[in-house]
Amino acid sequence: MNESQLETFLTVAKYRSYSKAAEVLNVTQPTITSRIKALETILQCPLFKRIRHEIYLTKAGNMFIDYAKNILTYIQHSKEIVNLVKDPIIKVGFSPGYSYSFIINLLKAVKSIGGIDIQVIDSYHSHNLNEMFMSGEIDLIFTRDTIDNNPDIVSEYLFDNHLVLVLPSNHPLTNKLTPRIEDLNNETIISYKRNSPLWRTIDKKLISAQNIVRIEVDNNEMALKAIANGIGIGIIPELGIDKRYASEIKTLKIDEIYKIPNKVYVQYRKTLNTDGIAKKIIYSIINHKYEQV
């Protein structure tokens, strides 16, 4: 018993005609007859009977309709098993601090390539991301720390992801062209992943600011929402600033913060069987970066 036999049986049952079933299924009428006979042999009973020029279902045929439909449904579901259990072709990891619009741009680029499964992973920090990469959990990573002295890994510098001061659009400091660390006195600073190596470097620069109140949130998106709603100010990488907040926030450069090294490197294995895909993903990231300029 196979899929074509079941489909043929249900088509004949629907139209009460071998010739119509042949037309619908785009096969010859002898093929229809052969499939029905094979099915009747398997079931050991007739499924149709002919009275004059009309075709009718037998009692067994009527009973078999629901079984045939259910079997075809199970066959279709079983075909999905491969899609459910297979791993994504490529797993891409990011260190924290990239905006949703940045990630969406990546996904759009992947979709335009077509036929690719991808999993995007937002890691705790670059060191953790590198460990996942080395263990084989991730195929391609965008990170601030390179993996050196490994001939099997391609590491390419892309660009600097500078840190900027992010303020509510109506904040008094938006009128200051060249703010300094001291201008942050008495401010509420919203941060995320504050115990990451990057934030430890930022905190060293903020020592000269007095009476700072801290609010730590779980992710970059939450920090942006809090800033847009006037809860405080933040220090965020440029690529973490989502276009959706353009009218609600403003960014400024504080030299001491802006100069903190925050380079973006892409790394992937030379043996990666999706090398062409990796290159296209990299180009999409570069394009997004310079669209923001």
- Percentage of the chain exceeding pLDDT 90: 41
Are 234 and 287 in a shared domain? no
**Within its chain, how far is the Cα of 133 from the centroid?**
17
Are 179 and 249 in a shared domain? yes
Are 156 and 167 in a shared domain? no
Alpha helices, H only, the chain: 3-15, 18-25, 29-43, 59-79, 81-85, 100-113, 126-134, 197-205, 220-228, 255-258, 275-291
- What pLDDT is recorded for position 274? 57
Are 266 and 123 in a shared domain? yes
| Domain-terminating residue out of 83, 107, 136 | 83
Q: Is the pLDDT of residue 190 over 60?
A: yes
CA-derived radius of gyration, the chain: 31
Q: Which two tokens stand for residue 27?
A: 């096969």
- 139 or 63, higher pLDDT: 63
- Give me the mean pLDDT over the 89-100 stretch: 75
Contact, 1 vs 37, CB < 8 A? Answer: no
Q: What angle do CA 150, 155, 157 make, to 5 degrees?
A: 150
Tell me the pLDDT tens digit for each residue of 228-246. Answer: 999 999 999 888 888 888 8
- 146 or 30, higher pLDDT: 30
To the nearest whole number, what is the mean pLDDT of the chain?
84
Q: Is the pLDDT of residue 123 over 80?
A: no
- Give me the mean pLDDT over the 11-22 stretch: 92
Are 59 and 179 in a shared domain? no
Alpha-carbon span 242 to 109, nearest angstrom: 18
Q: Is the pLDDT of residue 70 over 80?
A: yes
Give me the helix-helix angle, 59-79 and 3-15, nearest 10°.
Answer: 130
- 177 or 211, higher pLDDT: 211
Residue 39's pLDDT band, with cuts at 50, 70 and 90, is very high
Contact, 252 vs 176, CB < 8 A? Answer: yes
Are 108 and 58 in a shared domain? no
Residue 83's pLDDT band, with cuts at 50, 70 and 90, is low
Query: How many residues does this entry show for the chain?
Result: 293
Widest distance between CA atoms in the chain? 101
Q: Sign of the C-alpha dihedral, residues 189, 192, 195, 197?
A: negative
Q: What is the number of domains present in the chain?
A: 3
- Percentage of the chain exceeding pLDDT 70: 86
**Within its chain, how far is the Cα of 87 from the centroid?**
13
Are 24 and 50 in a shared domain? yes
Are 268 and 148 in a shared domain? yes
| Domain enclosing residue 133, as ranges | 87-160+262-291
How many C-beta atoms surround the C-beta of residue 12 within 10 A? 26
Q: Identify which of 109-123, 179-193, 274-288 has the greatest average pLDDT.
A: 179-193
| Domain-terminating residue out of 83, 113, 132 | 83
Which residues are CB-contacts of 44 (< 8 A; sequence separation ≥ 6)? none
Residue 256's pLDDT band, with cuts at 50, 70 and 90, is very high
| Domain-terminating residue out of 28, 53, 83 | 83
Are 122 and 140 in a shared domain? yes
- Give me the mean pLDDT over the 209-234 stretch: 91
Q: Is the pLDDT of residue 216 over 70?
A: yes
Are 97 and 221 in a shared domain? no
- 264 or 86, higher pLDDT: 264
Q: What is the pTM of this model?
A: 0.60
Alpha-carbon span 234 to 127, nearest angstrom: 23
Residue 95's pLDDT band, with cuts at 50, 70 and 90, is confident
Can you give the CATH number for the domain in which 45 is found? 1.10.10.10
- What pLDDT is recorded for position 29? 93
Q: Is the pLDDT of residue 101 over 60?
A: yes
Cα dihedral 67/46/9/61 (nearest 10): -40
Can you give the CATH number for the domain in which 115 is found? 3.40.190.10
Are 193 and 209 in a shared domain? yes
How many C-beta atoms surround the C-beta of residue 156 within 10 A? 11
Q: What angle do CA 67, 71, 76 make, to 5 degrees?
A: 150
Q: How far apart are the first and last CA of the chain?
A: 63
Are 25 and 68 in a shared domain? yes
